[in-house]
Structure 1
Amino acid sequence: MTPTTTPTTTPTTTDTIDDRALKARHRAMWALGDYPRVAAELIAELGPAMFAPHHQQAVDELVRACRPGGTIALLNWTSDGFVGEMFRALGPYAAPPPTGALSPVRWGDDRYVRRLLGDRVTDVAATPGVLRVDRFPTPQTWRDHWKTVDGPTIATYRALGADPDEVAALDRDLAAVATRFDRGTSGTVLPWEYRIHTARRVG
């Protein structure tokens, strides 16, 4: 199957105050297990759940919030694509995850997601895609931008403190990942592979 190519984009952090307040409320509701039992036609999860420490609990909540016959949609980065490799590069430098936390890159595995959903859904489909990121002239300029806008990357650099050797090593490792995936000729082109899962809730 030929991956779907989406329009070129650059990751940004442009949430408004209202956006941040809404997300904070959702995080609090999630933590308390108090998501409303809405009669939702569509429950779309476009990335944040992959950072939930307990994957089964996250999927259970998505299924619970979706009414019978409704659609659940999950969009996650693949484990063997660019973003998965970037997470692996960050791993040795990052602070230890919470006890029992699972790797976010597992969400990109088709069999894993199907197992999480279980027999509570039908018509499970997985569609691959590629986000083409081509706004940066070199892998190094992508890295220098990304380390200022991506939460996990910012946290990892912050955990290194003022250790210049560790910072330089992480700089090299991130640039190396971008160089390995670079498909550009007159500028850097990074293909960020993702997978969209859709499923219909039974009942």
Structure 2
Amino acid sequence: MTGPTEAVEADRALKAKHRTMWALGDYPAVATTVIPELGPRLVSACGVQRGDRVLDVAAGSGNAAVPAALTGADVVASDLTPALLDAGRVLAEERGAVLAWREADAEALPFEDGEFDVVMSCVGVMFAPHHQAAADEMVRVCRDGGTVGVLNWTPQGFIGRMFAVMKPYAPPPPPGAQPPPLWGDEEHLAALLGDRVTDLDARRETVHVDRFAEPAEFVNFFKAAYGPTIAVYRNIAGDPDRVTALDRDLTALARDAMTARGAMEWEYLLLTAHRRVD
């Protein structure tokens, strides 16, 4: 039986692993050159405006936090990975955005109950391993009547399918960890939020991706820039046959998703709700 001390140590080790994974490669390049529209889309859906107190959970390099700050909102970008926050500070300065950056675990946010008018996350909180804990924290720090908004890759969409392709090549997940694309399932999210929210609005949309001219270009870019993909390749680095097989599988996935001109449509779930007023 695992005792409290062992559980704490296991969680600390898991978070350290996640912190390291997201520091691999160049996630800011993914956010700014592949999916730059997603952050502003979430900000718009959440109705962020001047003077709002906004928290971006698992903000990465600020793909949603920076656009929110540019509206005149008072924004805090929080993330587990300091390297991403450092990159975000540079990007924010380049765009003239002023906001705060805070290292924080999405499952144990260092903020007061009801501190924010808007609590949001753009393809970020979905990677927290314990979904209910992360959802509980997002609701907790949102004020009564405030907005909770998330934008997540769906299991059926391109990125969800990519994670399914990579799963056989990845190490087994630790006990209790849940698959990230579940955050893109309406029923799963509704269950996580429960009756603590009202006016829940969930819609599936797609982002148009034309960054890659051919499937091999997509594979090579994600192998170099995207932390989860890099981590999977490192797991099988000692087995050239499995590396070749994963190259083949990811190339086939991209080929299936691409139009003749190389464009792809990546599906995501956009959900907004209001914290119930007690």
How do residues 1-203 of structure 1 correspond to structure 2 at under 5 angstroms? 9-10=33-34, 15=84, 17=86, 19=88, 22=101, 25-27=103-105, 30=106, 32=108, 34-182=110-258, 184-185=259-260, 187-203=261-277
Aligned-partner SS, 1:188:
coil
Aligned-partner SS, 2:249:
helix
Question: In structure 1, how many angstroms separate the alpha carbons of the residues matched to 2:35 and 2:223?
Answer: 11
Aligned-partner SS, 2:263:
strand
Relative to structure 1, the CA distance from residue 81 to residue 32 in structure 2 (aligned partners, 3 Å threshold; closer, same or farther) is: closer
Work out the number of aligned pairs and report it. 191
Letter of the structure 1 residue corresponding to residue 34 of structure 2: T
Question: In structure 2, how many angstroms separate the alpha carbons of the residues matched to 1:200 and 1:32?
Answer: 21
Q: Give the CA deviation at 1:10.
A: 1.5
Q: Give the CA deviation at 1:127.
A: 2.1
Aligned-CA RMSD value:
2.2
| Higher RCO by CA contacts (8 Å cutoff, separation 6 or greater) | 1
Letter of the structure 2 residue corresponding to residue 40 of structure 1: F
Structure (1/2) with the larger strand percentage: 1
Q: Give the CA deviation at 1:189.
A: 1.2
Relative to structure 1, the CA distance from residue 122 to residue 31 in structure 2 (aligned partners, 3 Å threshold; closer, same or farther) is: closer
Please tell me whether the aligned partners of residues 44 and 73 of structure 1 are also in contact (alpha carbons under 8 angstroms). Answer: yes
Aligned-partner SS, 2:199:
strand
Please give the TM-score of this superposition, normalised by the length of structure 2: 0.64
Unaligned runs of at least 5 residues, structure 2: 1-31, 37-59, 62-83, 90-99
Letter of the structure 1 residue corresponding to residue 271 of structure 2: H
Question: In structure 2, how many angstroms separate the alpha carbons of the residues matched to 1:132 and 1:40?
Answer: 31
Relative to structure 1, the CA distance from residue 123 to residue 88 in structure 2 (aligned partners, 3 Å threshold; closer, same or farther) is: same
CA deviations over 1:50-96 (Å, ceiling 9, x no partner): 11111011100000010000000010011101111000001000111
Letter of the structure 2 residue corresponding to residue 172 of structure 1: R
Aligned-partner SS, 1:95:
coil
Q: Give the CA deviation at 1:38.
A: 4.7
Please tell me whether the aligned partners of residues 133 and 190 of structure 1 are also in contact (alpha carbons under 8 angstroms). Answer: yes
Question: In structure 2, how many angstroms separate the alpha carbons of the residues matched to 1:96 and 1:135?
Answer: 31
